[in-house]
Structure 1
Amino acid sequence: MKTDQLFIKRMTTSWTQAIRILMMVLSGGGTPLVVGVLFILLSIAYSRFLVWLPKDFPIAVLVAIIISLPLSIVRIRTWIQKADLTFLLPLETKMRDYFKVSLYYNCATYLARLTLFLLILLPLYRLRFGTIKDFMAVLIAFCFLQVWNIIASWLEDRLQPFYSSRFIFTLFFIRLLITGWLSYITLIYVHAKISLVLLFFILTVLHTFFLWRIFSKAPRFPYPWILFAKREQKIQAKYVSLAGWFVDLPQVRFPVKERKWITWLLPKLIPQGKPFSYLYWRTFFRHSELFSIYLRILLLAILIIVFLPNFWVVFGTILLCIWLFGSQLPQITNPHRYPMFVQIYPIDPKERRTSFQKMCWILISLLSIILTLVASFTNLLLSQVLGIGITALLISFFFSNFYLPRKIEKRP
């Protein structure tokens, strides 16, 4: 069996499904409009940021931190499924070609993502760092740094079965620090001293040699099958959840996180006799994507409001956030998400609807209030802020108590 062909087949199937879903998203009535408006808002906010940026602001440090995180946090995608622990495990000694092609694929995708990200930063680079010619040299340097991180991450994954998670995290943390410093030196290489460049080059070589020595002493097998399977499950859940903003898709089994730092409060805040309130809130916080979507939407909206303190921009941003997040909340009531016995609880169906409505009202209204408070610190008039806040709360109330419950009732 040619395992490299197996990887190519899985990759092709996955990309075919992704393109089909993308076409469904693009064919949606309001999707192009929403994406276009969001792109215009971000472009305007970016240009306003460049105009506002003070000359003494340590932008090189900030950009180095922003770049080093996606450079270092590499998740090698292998398309390994849970069933492979049974069917492919006997072929483990012949899986080298499979993972070799996987590394080639990941290098290509991560380099494409890096190039797009750096092109977005091109106006900022020309403003504060150097010319386009310098930018091309920086782009090549970052590409080498990305490939180095991919190889190092692959070696760290291979060491998972043999070393503790604390040791693996230590290796990652050292790599993150080196990547951050190298990113900073790369950005300012026109003005950097040769001694600093040589120093961090030596650190990179030493780290690579240290990691390779550890890997060379470890057995060649087994591969971290469970790690790859869980990672693939998370990646699929993330993409399905993202596409779910725009179209209804068949649900996959979403991974969950414990998040004990917040779930321990639920029994104290939710009164007894409200099992579905507890169930829905617990699902919201432990869901690996829904809670993250809420935070990402909130952060993105805050950035837009801060850099574009215009009445209509702020008002449109808040309405867009209400729609983007509110459209995700019906996922919580999907019966396929819970065990069968949950559906036969001897509880009035109205209690489920009421619990869902209250949860939607709290989350969406809290989103509106936070964004309105952020708008109050901009140059908008108090009357404008009050108008935005009151209108947003009214829309949140209508959205939570009428639109979303009806959307659930129409679900087949």
Structure 2
Amino acid sequence: MKTEQLFIQRMSSSWRQAIRIISLIIGGGGTPIVVGAMVIFLSIAYSRFLLWLPKDVPISYAIAFLLSLPLTFSRLRTWIQPADLTFLLPLETKMKNYFRYSFIYSTSIHLIRLLLVGFILFPLYQLRLGNTTSFGITIILLCLLQVWNSYISWLEDRLTSFQSSRYVHTLLFFRWLINGWISFFLLTKHEWISLFSFVVPILHLFYLRSMISGYPYPWMLLSERERKTLMKYYSIAGWFVDLPHIRFPVKERKWLTWFLEKLAPRQKAFSYLYWRTFFRHGDLFAIYLRILLWATVIILFLPNLWIILATLLFSIWLIAIQLPQIALLQRYPLITQLYPITQEERISCFSRMCWLLLASFTLMMVMVGAMTVVPVLYLLLIGTAGCLLGYFLSYVYIPKQIREKS
């Protein structure tokens, strides 16, 4: 089999699986409504932000920074598996076409991502900097820069075999500076400076190409990155559908150990186990923080009574639907099921944890609302509604979900 055919097979298989998961998400019934509501909320918040934005804010710096991020972080998707270190390593000299196809695919995805970011930032650009034509020319030139970034990112990966991580991170930082520099001068219509600045990426390209001559492919790095990429996608899908066959990674997060001891002493075995799982789960704790950030932005930019209420209740529901996977016995070793404690006692421990998480979230959202113009009395009523919903989800909805899946 030709190596490029192997890449196409893996890419097709991955997309078929993704389409099946997306179909399950869409078939969930309420998902289109939820996504539509989120888009409406964010678009309203964005328009309010544009109206609020002071005239002395340096928009060009902000847009250049935001554009530099997708330009810089342009890793290749290779679908390299752990077993490839055994079966494909002998074919390393014939893998050139495989990685060429990977580069074409990944660069296409990165260009789509850049265009999407540009579409989102266009109202901000149009507000102060220019019109549609000038922004279109800027995006076209940035697309060329995106192709360069994808290739340089691949060369940086090749360097990891023999160069220190500090050196590779320095190259990444230098590339980010180049992207920010060129983006800024393109946005501010300094065309000649921008065009002259493109000499730097070209020289940097020749420099890296001369370094990697004879370097092997970074098989371990690519395999680990593919695993992390899959976990990231599964985590997003887990917001909407159950994926019990997926084993998510665990992170130590030692800085939370002292807090964990306060919440659940080790003598309370399952309380300690559930809290520890929540904090160390590869994505659950991060999801909680992301929802907290999302709700904070909505409340600050849309200080309306009903919008705050809807945001709070919707956020609590989003968190609650993720939590039951912590209590599933299938995720723990078999010996855990032999512990002398009944299912109802386990559910009681878990419900208490869910209630503390949702009540804490409600309290933080009320504190954020206190920084807006909404009267305190209304915020107390909103907080009460959030606590009632959190209590219902913690002691009625979530226990029911656990019993059905046990």
Alignment TM class, shorter chain as reference: over 0.9
Q: Deviation of residue 345 (structure 1)? A: 2.8
CA shift digits 1:187-241 (9 cap, x unpaired) = 21x2x374x436643443343333333323xx332x2222222222222222222
Which residue number in structure 1 is paired with residue 201 of structure 2? 204
Cα distance in 1, alignment partners of residues 88 and 330 from structure 2: 29
Q: Deviation of residue 313 (structure 1)? A: 0.7
Cα distance in 2, alignment partners of residues 150 and 229 from structure 1: 18
1:68 match: secondary structure: helix
What is the one-letter code of the residue matched to 1:175?
R
RMSD between aligned residues:
1.9
Which residue number in structure 2 is paired with residue 53 of structure 1? 53
In the alignment, structure 1 residue 182 sits paired with structure 2 residue 154: no
What is the one-letter code of the residue matched to 1:305?
I
Cα distance in 2, alignment partners of residues 339 and 95 from structure 1: 40
Q: Which of 334, 353, 356 is matched with 2:350 structurally?
A: 356
Q: Deviation of residue 380 (structure 1)? A: 0.8
Q: Deviation of residue 330 (structure 1)? A: 1.2
Asked if 2 retains the 8 angstrom alpha-carbon contact of 1:234 and 1:254, the reply is: no
Q: Which of 396, 404, 409 is matched with 2:403 structurally?
A: 409
> What aligned pairs does 1:266-305 form with structure 2 within 5 A after superposition?
266-267=260-261, 269-305=263-299
What is the one-letter code of the residue matched to 2:17?
Q
Asked if 1 retains the 8 angstrom alpha-carbon contact of 2:161 and 2:215, the reply is: no
Q: Deviation of residue 332 (structure 1)? A: 1.3
Which residue number in structure 2 is paired with residue 220 of structure 1? 215
2:75 match: secondary structure: coil
CA shift digits 1:294-353 (9 cap, x unpaired) = 121111111111111111111001111111111111121233323333333334434422
Q: Which of 371, 374, 379 is matched with 1:380 structurally?
A: 374
Which moved further from structure 2: 260-269 or 173-182? 260-269
The two structures have a TM-score, normalised by structure 1, of: 0.93
What is the one-letter code of the residue matched to 2:198?
F
Which residue number in structure 2 is paired with residue 77 of structure 1? 77
Cα distance in 1, alignment partners of residues 230 and 337 from structure 2: 26
Which moved further from structure 2: 3-12 or 277-286? 277-286
Asked if 2 retains the 8 angstrom alpha-carbon contact of 1:107 and 1:150, the reply is: yes
1:103 match: secondary structure: helix
Asked if 2 retains the 8 angstrom alpha-carbon contact of 1:21 and 1:243, the reply is: yes
The two structures have a TM-score, normalised by structure 2, of: 0.94
Q: Deviation of residue 268 (structure 1)? A: 5.5
What is the one-letter code of the residue matched to 1:14?
S
Which residue number in structure 2 is paired with residue 339 of structure 1? 333
Which residue number in structure 1 is paired with residue 165 of structure 2? 165
What is the one-letter code of the residue matched to 2:246?
V
Asked if 2 retains the 8 angstrom alpha-carbon contact of 1:233 and 1:255, the reply is: no
Cα distance in 1, alignment partners of residues 121 and 340 from structure 2: 57
Structure 1 residue ranges without an equivalent (≥5): none
Q: Which of 209, 225, 234 is matched with 1:231 structurally?
A: 225
Q: Deviation of residue 269 (structure 1)? A: 4.7
Cα distance in 2, alignment partners of residues 117 and 348 from structure 1: 51
Cα distance in 2, alignment partners of residues 280 and 400 from structure 1: 14
Which residue number in structure 2 is paired with residue 156 of structure 1? 156
Which residue number in structure 2 is paired with residue 133 of structure 1? 133
Cα distance in 2, alignment partners of residues 10 and 58 from structure 1: 45
Which residue number in structure 2 is paired with residue 23 of structure 1? 23
Residues 181 and 275 (structure 1), Cα distance of their counterparts in 2 relative to 1, 3 Å cut: farther
Cα distance in 1, alignment partners of residues 310 and 145 from structure 2: 40
Asked if 2 retains the 8 angstrom alpha-carbon contact of 1:263 and 1:285, the reply is: no
Aligned-pair identity (%): 53
Q: Deviation of residue 92 (structure 1)? A: 2.1
